[in-house]
Amino acid sequence: MIIRKLCMRQSRQLLALSRRAPISSRFQSTLPESPVETLQTPIRDEISRSENPLFEMVQAQSEASTPAQQEFTSDEPQRSNFKKLGTSVKSSYDPENVIRNPPKPSQISLEMLLAAGTHLGHSTSRWNPQNSRYIFGIREGVHIISLDVTAAHLRRAAKVVEEVAARGGLILFAGTRKGQKRAVVQAASLAKGYHIFERWIPGSLTNGEQILGHCETKVVNALDEELPNFKSDLADRPSLKPDLVVCLNPLENVVLLHECGLNNVPTIGVIDTDADPTRVTYPIPSNDDSLRATCLIAGILGRAGEAGQLRRLKMAQEGRTSYTPITAQELRLDPFTGLATGGEGQKK
């Protein structure tokens, strides 16, 4: 085929093609009624509908054009009768359930942890001997984490999350592995905290002014209502630091935990048999490679945070607080000169 001067040669033919006119109506926000519907005249049908009780079946059969369709429609009543037979599955495992409706800390049981697979550690050759306290035994070349130790540490961590939430602390949930996103977001939304499901940007705590300086902050009262009057006072304030960090994969987030150590922030972490338990303040010995296990732990901690927030708001409605709120005077002080405030930018 000769491609040279194709357009010049073929343009006449292209123009002569009978093309469909552009449909401008599809860009309208409301679709106009199609003219096909107006053609239907259901007056006769209404009469027959009132006369004939089996009108729908007759109608369906008359609508069927091919023999196969007719056969299909004629079998329909038999099929619908047949569907009632057989068994119905009542309780089955739904993987979404642990994310949608996570259990409360009071519901922690060894069976639940076992079913989630929290007891499965790593190959014995990969162990960190500092975890020997949490290891129950060896099975098929794999370390088995003791379920009762996991339950005890999980309850302790849940208590910490609840208490920090009840005192109005900022809680950060971090889970940066693939698939942990939804569990982390759900836990943070339950605990009214913050979440990270992508990479932790190094320096977010130690160099917060540069990395998080553009982020929005607000002053709220004890009932979590925003106070816009203090907007101008927040301009030159250092970035906020969390009061508690929950890390679902400490192996990948060494930098985050190191920065927490430098900034003196308590941390909760899921510690597998190959992780270093001294990196976090409150270790939860558990399998961190199973999504079901980490989702369960995140959900339980989220529920604990929810309980703490409820308690705080209830107390606030009664006019009490379990923490010393920051005063307006403190908030109006220049953070760099004169009396330095503690870096707490929220009025509670």
Partner 1 sequence: MNGPALSGRSPSLGQSEPRFANPIFFAPASTTSSPASVYLVFLICCLQSHRNSSFISSSFSYWLCPTIMGKINLTALRVRQTALNQFASGKTSKLPQWVGVVGEIPPAETLIRTRPPQHELVQQRLKTVPGSSKPQVVFQVQEKRRKPKKPSRLFQPVGLKYEEDQLRTQFFRDHPWELARPRVLLESTGKDFEHYDWSRIQQPGKRLDGESVVQRQLWLLNNVPDITKSAAYDIARREFYRLRLQEDIQRRVAAEEAAAYGAEFGPSYMDIGMKMENEQYDKWVAWARETSLVQDQRKSALSGAPDLGDTTESSEAEAEEGEAVTL
Site residues (vs partner 1, CB under 8 A): 91-93, 109-115, 117, 119-120, 124, 129-130, 132-133, 135-140, 143-144, 146-148, 152-153, 156, 159-160, 163-164, 167-169, 243-244, 257, 260-262, 264-267, 277-283, 323, 339-342, 344
What number of other Cβ atoms are within 10 A of residue 214's Cβ? 8
Least separation in angstroms between residue 165's CB and partner 1 is 10
Residue 30 or 91 having the CB closest to partner 1: 91
Residue 159 or 177 having the CB closest to partner 1: 159
Residue 55 or 323 having the CB closest to partner 1: 323
Residue 309 or 341 having the CB closest to partner 1: 341
Torsions phi, psi for 96 (to 5 deg): -75, -20
Least separation in angstroms between residue 325's CB and partner 1 is 10
Residue 163 or 252 having the CB closest to partner 1: 163
Residue with tokens 């970035």: 239
162 Cβ contact partners less than 8 Å away, ≥ 6 residues apart = 105, 304, 305, 307, 308, 311
Least separation in angstroms between residue 189's CB and partner 1 is 21
Residue 55 or 194 having the CB closest to partner 1: 194
Torsions phi, psi for 241 (to 5 deg): -120, 140
Residue 151 or 190 having the CB closest to partner 1: 151
Q: Which of 91, 167, 342 is nearest to 237 (CA)?
A: 342
User: How would you list the strands of the sheet with 282-285, edge to edge?
Assistant: 194-196, 171-174, 244-247, 267-271, 282-285
List of long-range contacts for 71-80, beta carbons under 8 Å, 24+ apart: none
Which token pair is 151?
């339950």
Residue 227 or 262 having the CB closest to partner 1: 262
Burial 125-135 (b: 16+ CB within 10 A, else e): eebeeebeebb
What is the DSSP secondary-structure string of 254-315?
Answer: HHHHHHHHHTT--EEEEE-TTS-GGGSSEEEES-SS-HHHHHHHHHHHHHHHHHHHHHHHHH
Measure Cα distances from 336 to 73, 218, 330, 332, 342 in Å.
80, 19, 12, 12, 11
- Strands 135-139, 142-145: parallel, antiparallel or unpaired by DSSP? antiparallel
> Which run of H or E residues covers position 190?
helix 181-190
